[in-house]
Amino acid sequence: MTVHVVADSVAGLMGLRAMLDQHCAVTSELLSDADTRHSKPDAVVVTADLRAVDSIATLKEMFGRLSHVRTRIFITDHKARLFTVQAHALGATRVLVNPVNQASLLAALVDSPSRTIAIEALPGAREAATSGATALASMFSAVSSGKLIDVSDAKRAGRKIADSIAENGLSSWLETVRRHHESTYQHCLLVTGIAVDFGLCLGVPNADIERLYSAAIFHDIGKAKIPLAVLDKPGRLDDRERALIETHPAAGYDVLKENAGASPEILDAVRHHHEYLDGSGYPDALCAASISDIVRILTISDIFAALIEHRHYKPTMPREQAYEIIRSMEGKLERPLVAAFREVALNR
């Protein structure tokens, strides 16, 4: 049996080689140099940190090329279900959690089940994105045609998104949404996922996660009143178009304020998600003390989502660069929250 070993550190590589060298033919390489185009192993064993965005991208490519290999074992340091799901989504046939010893690794190599998994977004994330996009589409068309928005329908979709984030993680969500959805729906789905993940990262209670996804899914509903020619215009907006876009928070608030299903938090988020702590935002030029915690979280998620959106006319901005822009907005966003957001932006 030939086993190909890939690790994201020299120590990881050496550790695995030491366990396998006397029992099978072993080839190995570091994840950063992985080029498996010419290797034809019977099994592949990988150990890497699944929180690193770069590692995930490399592993996706690599497992895509190795989908014909029957046994693909992934070793992770973290017991969280999220990492197990992530590893399977990448194409692992078996996931082991450290500490892994020689006996357990050899046993896994002998009796690992084989299956071929397409390197694709997770079904749970796809389903949540579809129901979110459907809810957004019906909300936006209700506003356009002057009908009442079904708030509970949108909240149900938000709940599914929150469940998908908790189960599958943020990276899978970002990829699913950017691949399958466009424009304002893509943006609202991204903001909802990012806000939920930010809430989970901050450890906020469940009731606040519900407030967050409800606020996020509705936050840009006022854009239903903006012509698509302006909303989806490639490139820079002129002053008139910018002023028109800036009417959307108040327009959204007006649409929802008579709706019995819209809670005060939703109304607050819809109206104030473009306010900044230094009073330079719109529409009410609120200052720090008047901006709620939910809105502060939402605003950071909103800016980040807008920066990393996939648009056909421009390259997608890397998450690192988007975070640097947020970090540079000194005085406008809450500094401890921006520091906490680093984990969401770069690692989750």
Smallest separation, CB 220 to Fe ion (Å): 4
Name the token pair of 159: 């709940």
The DSSP code sequence of 81-99 is HHHHHHHHHHT-SEEEESS
| Run of H or E residues at 44 | strand 43-47
Residue with Cβ nearer Fe ion (106 or 250): 250
Smallest separation, CB 67 to Fe ion (Å): 37
Q: Is 309 in the site for Fe ion (CB under 5 A)?
A: no
- Sheet with 94-97, side-by-side order of all strands: 25-30, 2-7, 43-47, 71-76, 94-97
Residue with Cβ nearer Fe ion (3 or 194): 194
Query: Which string of x and - marks every residue 137-166 that binds Fe ion (by CB under 5 A)?
Result: ------------------------------
Q: Is 302 in the site for Fe ion (CB under 5 A)?
A: yes
Smallest separation, CB 53 to Fe ion (Å): 23
Query: Which string of x and - marks every residue 249-288 that binds Fe ion (by CB under 5 A)?
Result: ----------------------------------------
Residue with Cβ nearer Fe ion (210 or 302): 302
Name the token pair of 45: 């064993």
Name the token pair of 318: 């890397």
CA separation for the pair 272, 260 (Å, rounded): 19
Residue with Cβ nearer Fe ion (89 or 190): 190
Name the token pair of 173: 């969500």
Smallest separation, CB 184 to Fe ion (Å): 8
Side-chain half-sphere exposure of 291, counting CA atoms within 13 A: 28
Residue with Cβ nearer Fe ion (89 or 212): 212
Query: Which string of x and - marks every residue 217-236 that binds Fe ion (by CB under 5 A)?
Result: ---x----------------
Give how far Cα 220 sits from Cα of 21, 56, 163, 210, 299, Å. 57, 31, 22, 17, 12
Q: Is 210 in the site for Fe ion (CB under 5 A)?
A: no
Smallest separation, CB 73 to Fe ion (Å): 42
Tell me how many residues contact Fe ion (CB under 5 A): 2
218: left (phi over 0), alpha (psi -120 to 50) or beta: alpha
Which residues contribute to the site for Fe ion (CB under 5 A)?
Answer: 220, 302
